[in-house]
Every structure is written in C-alpha cells, then in structure tokens.
Amino acid sequence: METFLIILAIIFALIGLAGSIIPGLPGPPLSWAAALVLSFTSVADISPMFLFVTGAIAAVITVLDYVVPSLSTKRFGGSKAGIWGCNIGLVISIVGLPFGPQGLLGVILWPFIGALVGELISGKESREALRAAWGAFVGFLTGTGLKFVYSLILAILLIRDIIV
C-alpha cells in the first residue's frame, strides 16, 4: 500500500507541475494533493502545519491566477471597461479549453483581446488600449509563473523526502 501511495504522490506532483503551465489543470491543488498523499506514508515526515501552510498557499495562488490578469490590466492603465473585457476574455477562454489546442491558445489570447476591445470601446486610443491589453498578458504570465514556482518547489521537497 505504501508503494502505491508513493507512486500516486509522484503522479500528483508531476500532473501538478504540468498543470501549472497547462491551463485547465489545477496545478497547485494537485501538487498539494501529492504532499497530502505522501503524508500518509512512512517515507516522508510531513507535519500537519506544513500541509496547512502549503494548502493555504495553493488556495491563494489558485485564486490569484484568476485575479492577477485583471489587476495587471488596471496597473497598465486599463479602465473598468478593459478590466471587464479581460474578465470576459478569461471566461471565454475557460469555456474554450475543451476544444483542444485552440482552447489552450485562447487562454492566453482571450483576456488580451477582451482587454483590448474593452479599452477601444471605452474610447481609448490604440496605443493606450494595447498597453492595457499587454497588462492582461503580463498578468497571465505572472499567474502562470506563481503556479509553476509553487508546484516546482513542492515537487522538489517531496522528491527529496522520497529519495532521502
């Protein structure tokens, strides 16, 4: 049974790492699930406090992944219309995920397009609208980066516990 749990934890860690980059897969929660599963084995000495803290971080990062593009749009000069456009683009991109590679590309493009269209509709010039839309893209990269770093650190810690 212990071998099964170790293998399951490794699978969760790998899928969590992939999910930090591939939209639609909840990377940080899956990485945290790897720690949870590994805590039921004798190979890793994982404390309840570690699980609580890393679980809270996973929850915060998962929420931030959906909030950061809008905040970044605003930071890059976006108006309420641009922020709404970014949010609508996020929803469209999530709905489009099941439709294959174009769905994956849509996760990057739709928030950008939404922010751009929102800004243009609100009357901003093309240059200002592009700057706000760029903010949506930077926000996407920031959220992805946060997820990847969290999942990578957790994977390294768990693999270290398994090997040592």
Confidence of residue 100 (pLDDT cuts 50, 70, 90): low
pLDDT exceeds cutoff 80 at 110 = yes
CB 2 within 8 A of CB 41: yes
Close Cβ partners of 97 (under 8 Å, ≥ 6 residues apart):
23, 24, 103, 104, 106, 107
Alpha carbons 82 and 117: distance in angstroms, whole number: 7
pLDDT of residue 53: 96
Which residue type, as a one-letter code, is found at position 114?
G
Alpha carbons 35 and 46: distance in angstroms, whole number: 8
Confidence of residue 156 (pLDDT cuts 50, 70, 90): very high
Domain positions in the chain are: 2-163
Q: What number of CA atoms fall less than 13 Å from residue 107's CA on the CB side? A: 19
Q: 20-64: per-residue pLDDT in tens? A: 887 778 899 999 999 999 999 988 889 999 999 999 999 999 999
Rounded to two decimals, the pTM is: 0.83
